[in-house]
Amino acid sequence: MAEVATQKTYRLHLMVCAGTGCVSNHAFEIKTALEKEVKKHGLENEVTIVPTGCNGFCERGPILVVQPGNIFYQQLSVKDVPHLVEEHFLKGRPVAKLMYVPPAEKTPVPVLSDIPFFKKQVLIALRNRGLIDPEKVEEYVARDGYKALAKALFEMSPEAIISEITRSGLRGRGGAGFPTGLKWQLVRGAASSNGGGKYIVCNGDEGDPGAFMDRSILEADPHAVIEGMVIGAKAIGATAGYVYVRNEYPLAVARLGVALDQARSFGLLGRDILGSGFDFDIQIKRGAGAFVCGEETALIASVEGRLGEPRPRPPYPAQSGLWGKPTCINNVETWANVPVIIDRGGAWFAGIGTATSKGTKVFSLVGKINNTGLVEVPMGISLREIINDIGGGIPGGKAFKAVQTGGPSGGCIPKEQIDLPIDYESLAAAGSMMGSGGMVIMDEDTCMVDVARYFLSFTQDESCGKCTPCREGTKAMLDILTRITEGKGKEEDIVLLQDLATAIKDTALCGLGKTAPNPVLTTLRYFRDEYEAHIQRRKCPAHVCRQLNVYTIDPERCLEKGKGCDLCRRNCASDAISGQKGQAHAVLQEKCIKCGVCADVCAFGAVKVD
Amino acid sequence: MPKLTIDELAKMRDRTRRTMVPREGGEFRAKINVHMGTCGIAAGARGVMTALLEEVEKRSLQDVLLTSSGCAGLCSREPMMTVEMAGRAPVKYVNLDPAKAREVLDKHVLRGTVVREYALGVGSEKTDV
């Protein structure tokens, strides 16, 4: 039987972040050390230690938030624990040296809500962030969990649930932004052939490089997803549901499993839910991590035990999905929004965001950004606010260059559009897409041709090979991009890339292929000069494509600053440097293999890259 | 297996919510700050804290915040605590023991009457938490 949460009162609650990021930084060791020290001081009846889901500020993990008071401790290690427990938890003196100090400032910010990273965030999908133990259903319930379910089961008709979701303006958070209410209505209205039955599916196949929104939600608040799915099941008339999640997310799979067991044992899932007479159960289906399985028809094939390949649509899953039955597929974050909408009303949700994009969106902020982490922001917020205010800007004083949204299917948005509001239409107009919420920030040292080549190599690698445009087309595009980055680009390559991109977009079978050219198209649109520099001048302006670099040594600097230290010559693998200790050195261009080691080892800045 | 009904779900919510009050922030009726410097602990502040915690739990007080702080600088009068009712000047109590602390909680915090015989003075330091 599920463990019943203790009813004991504690004066201090130590909320230890136990999301995957912090766990990989030894959060569980820190938790064990806390337990040991708390016991050592006899504080175990006064202080409770609570593992929570992802706090969001992953850059600063491992994280501990002390309640009451919302005191934020960061970058903890096991050796900090004895001092922290004695000083703060026993003697009541918060430890300043373990607190967050914003970059370029000196004074620590003790309270979480005063930290700029958290200030502009609005939490709906992440409403329980850092406040509950995801493995205790009672704590989810205490924060109004399953209240919406009770309302949906006892007070609302399926039609009323669907119209509430429609009123909220919720759109799919997995990428395409299809109106959720409309999707539910289509599935509800679809006739089920051969014996009836409909299915609910939660798409947790998060494959974009650098994206971890779905993983974090499943780890931090699995009951939010379960509750959303049960409400959806009542609305469309489904009796069974599946959560499709990657096996490479072991913590998410484990916590979801615990949550499903608890929900079942308390009658929140399974037969006769809450005594309402409604039956619905959920199974976990683990995927092997193929990117294409995030595409709904490939996902369905994978759940059915077939090869994860897409098929042409129509028919859409709403008419013929899992085992040929009408199926409602929504993304993890979409499901997590549902209980709040039912509890607080569609009109409340629709009051947040823009005219066409309602509510909030969770983004994972990665790349060249000071505050790497997971953020939830209202729709309509500008890129500038996310990057500068929440993200804390670019590290090392570098300049912002572009942001990739929507993963390999999305596009690069240049710095000129930093005031772009984040909503489905604005992102699409800029040539990118909302996607599931990956946001990769790039600085001035990034080569946009290389970025396009990277994303193409990803999609080419992940292409299932079923349709020719995607299988052959992405390969051809990748070959051209590789050629350009190696300094072998041809004058006609840009036109060829554009032609291939258009052809693939028009003819590929599924979303993976249709969107694969987007990174190339957007970089061509906004950074055409970089392509031209590579092709016409054989130069990589960001000096990333090493084959295009020319290394030279400034003889004066080498002699004056470095006294001809000879380190470059000794490290050169191709004997391409002349000179000896005490003399000015020089690069022999005909021998140079452009590995860049001389520039890496020179401590005096004498090696120039052009 | 305890299958919940809709009423039991509401009961579970209320029961668990009480234990999670310290996480939620918000306003408190009173803050009780037990001084936990080395001097305070040596004089028995831990016993005072334990007694207060037991009372808070026993009476299901959701709006009384228990906290600790360092030495208040009057080591000879420890154990000490500061009671701060919302909107009122804080009151410091000295030479406490568990029984006196329970009495202060009952009379001052719950009924609003300052226990003058244990009080040091009114209107000294405030606590942040």
Phi first, then psi: what are they for B26, rounded to 5°? 80, -170
User: Does the residue A47 lie in any domain?
Assistant: yes
- Is the per-residue pLDDT at A1 higher than 50? no
The SS3 assignment for A100 reads strand
- Write down the pLDDT at residue B87: 83
> How many domains is chain A partitioned into structurally?
5
From the list A9, A132, A154, which residue is nearest B6 (CB)? A154
Secondary structure, 3-state, A195-228 = CCCCEEEEEECCCCCCCCHHHHHHHHCHHHHHHH
Is the bond preceding residue B79 a cis peptide, omega within 30 degrees? Answer: yes
pLDDT of residue A520: 96
B65 to chain A: which residues are within 8 Å by CB? 68
Is B27 part of the contact surface with chain A (CB cutoff 8 Å)?
no
Considering the domain architecture, whether residues A30 and A55 belong to the same structural domain is answered as yes
Q: Count CB neighbours of A140 within 10 A.
A: 29
- Give the integer Cα–Cα distance in Å for A342 and B95: 54
pLDDT at B21: 87
With a cut of 80, say whether residue A331 has pLDDT above it: yes
Nearest to A341 by CA among A362, A355, A329, A359: A359
Q: Indicate whether A86 belongs to any domain.
A: yes
Do A215 and A111 share a domain, yes or no? no
Contact B16 A150 (CB under 8 A): no
Candidates A278, A306, A321, A24; CA nearest to A161 is A278
> What average pLDDT score do residues A7-36 get?
94
Q: Of A482, A510, A536, which residue constitutes the final position of a domain?
A: A536
Six-digit token string for A391: 């993200």
Domain boundary among A536, A561, A587: A536
pLDDT at residue A538 in the model: 94
Facing A91 at nearest CB: one of B3, B50, B68: B68
Are A247 and A323 found together in one domain?
yes
Distance CA A248, CA A250 (A): 6
Q: What is the CATH number of the domain that holds A575?
A: 3.30.70.20
Mean pLDDT across chain A: 94
Q: Which of A11, A67, A266 sits opposite B4 (nearest CB)?
A: A266
What are phi and psi for residue A540, nearest 5 degrees?
A: -105, 110
* Whether A556 contacts A584, CB under 8 Å: yes
Tell me whether B98 touches chain A (CB under 8 Å).
no
Considering the domain boundaries, does residue A7 fall inside one? Answer: no
Tell me how crowded residue A42 is: count the other CB atoms within 10 A of its CB.
11
B26-122, CATH topology level: Glutaredoxin (3.40.30)
Q: In the predicted model, what is the mean pLDDT of residues A215-222? A: 96
Over the stretch A97-142, which tens digit does the pLDDT of each residue have? 999 999 888 999 999 999 999 999 999 999 999 999 999 999 999 9
pLDDT given for residue B1 in this prediction: 52
Q: Is A106 on the interface with B (CB under 8 A)?
A: no
Vertex A547 angle, CA A542 and A553, to 5°: 75
Cα distance between residue A403 and residue A391, in whole Å: 12
B62-81, pLDDT tens digit by residue? 888 888 888 878 888 989 99
Q: Is residue A2 part of a domain?
A: no
B58 — contact with chain A (CB < 8 Å)? no
B32 CB near a chain A CB, below 8 Å?
no
Query: For residue A59, what is the domain's CATH number?
Result: 3.40.30.10
A:B CB pairs within 8 Å:
117
Question: How far is CA A16 from each of CA A44, A85, A212, rounded to the nearest angstrom?
Answer: 16, 14, 19
pTM: 0.92
Looking at the domain assignment, is residue A414 inside a domain?
yes
Residue position matching structure tokens 């974050």 = A333
- Contact criterion met (CB below 8 Å) for A580 and A569: yes
Cα three-residue angle A204-A206-A207, rounded to 5 degrees? 150
Element at A507 (helix H, strand E): helix A493-507
Q: Three-state DSSP class for B82?
A: strand
pLDDT per position as a tens digit, A420-436: 999 999 999 999 999 88
| Interior/surface letters A173-186, b for 16+ CB within 10 angstroms, e for the rest | bbbbbbbbbebbbb
Q: Are residues A519 and A570 in the same domain?
A: no
Residue with more model confidence, A55 or B28: A55
Residues of A in contact with B49 (CB under 8 A): 11, 46
Those residues with Cβ within 8 angstroms of residue A330's Cβ, 6 or more apart along the chain or in another chain: A172, A173, A174, A180, A183, A201, A202, A203, A232
**Any B CB within 8 A of A155 CB:** no
Per-residue pLDDT at A326: 95
Question: By residue range, what is the domain housing residue A109?
Answer: 12-115
Place of tokens 């300043």: A96
Domain boundary among A303, A330, A350: A350
Chain A contacts of B67, Cβ < 8 Å?
11, 68-69, 92
Mutate to test the interface with B, among A3, A9, A12, A85 (most CBs of B within 10 A): A9
